[in-house]
Amino acid sequence: MGSTERRQREKEQRREQILDTARSLLFKKGIDATSMNQIARNAELSVGTLYLYFKNKESLFAALQEEGLTLLCDKIKEESEKGLTPREKLEKVALAYLDFSEEHRKYSDIINYFLTSPEMVFPPPLKSRVDKHVNRILSVVEDILKKGVSKDADDREIRRLTVVFCSSLHGMLQFKKLRSTVLQGEDFRDLYMYSFDCIVRSCLFKG
């Protein structure tokens, strides 16, 4: 009978329950200030149980990071499809990235955290899994550019423009940290879209 199935379902639920609590704490207090004991307490589970579902703290947070990347990727794809012309699609992508970084600030933080930390934080297998997510995102942009850029750009150039596009937006997003000092007096969203315009303009769009 479905006893094993139920068991399976329950296990899945427990895992989610843990991730939910961890996420919530991560968002509230940051990664270093979130302890396994706290997660256990908030999840109304014992510490031991946490280690039944995740090898260690790192794995638990890695799971959250993947969660975030998947969310971001889905959002970007979904939004891009709402645009009619390539330019509009790109604009949707750019806005999706900005919105994500605001709506899911903490996901965004944790992604950046692991992505840009000076040394590889995760062991190679994890790192490569993460980079795959990044690649998926780039592909979305690449496909749009393929259709929007003037004909004489070959695949190589398209790829480069993709990277330029994404890295520029990414760079601008990083600068958001400076908004209270260096960027004083600027509306960040305006600035971000201004940057978007510059990049798109330079991509020699058809028409």
Partner DNA sequence: CATGAATGAGGGTTCATTCAT
Partner DNA sequence: CATGAATGAACCCTCATTCAT
| Contact residues for DNA, defined by CB under 7 A | 3, 7, 10-11, 14, 33-38, 45-53, 56-58
- Measured from the CB atom, is 82 or 163 closer to a second copy? 163
Instruction: Report what 99 binds from DNA, a second copy, none; CB cut-off 5-8 Å by kind.
Output: none
For residues 145 and 158, the answer to whether their CB atoms sit within 8 Å is yes
DSSP per-residue codes, 62-88: HHHHHHHHHHHHHHHHHHHTT-SSHHH
Rounded Cα gap, residues 79 and 92, in angstroms: 6
Ranges within 26-55 binding a second copy (CB under 8 A): 26-32
- Measured from the CB atom, is 37 or 82 closer to a second copy? 37
- Measured from the CB atom, is 34 or 162 closer to DNA? 34
CA 100 to chain centre: 8
Instruction: Report what 28 binds from DNA, a second copy, none; CB cut-off 5-8 Å by kind.
Output: a second copy
Residue in the structure block whose two tokens are 């280690």: 51
Instruction: Report what 45 binds from a second copy, DNA, none; CB cut-off 5-8 Å by kind.
Output: DNA
Rounded Cα gap, residues 16 and 147, in angstroms: 40
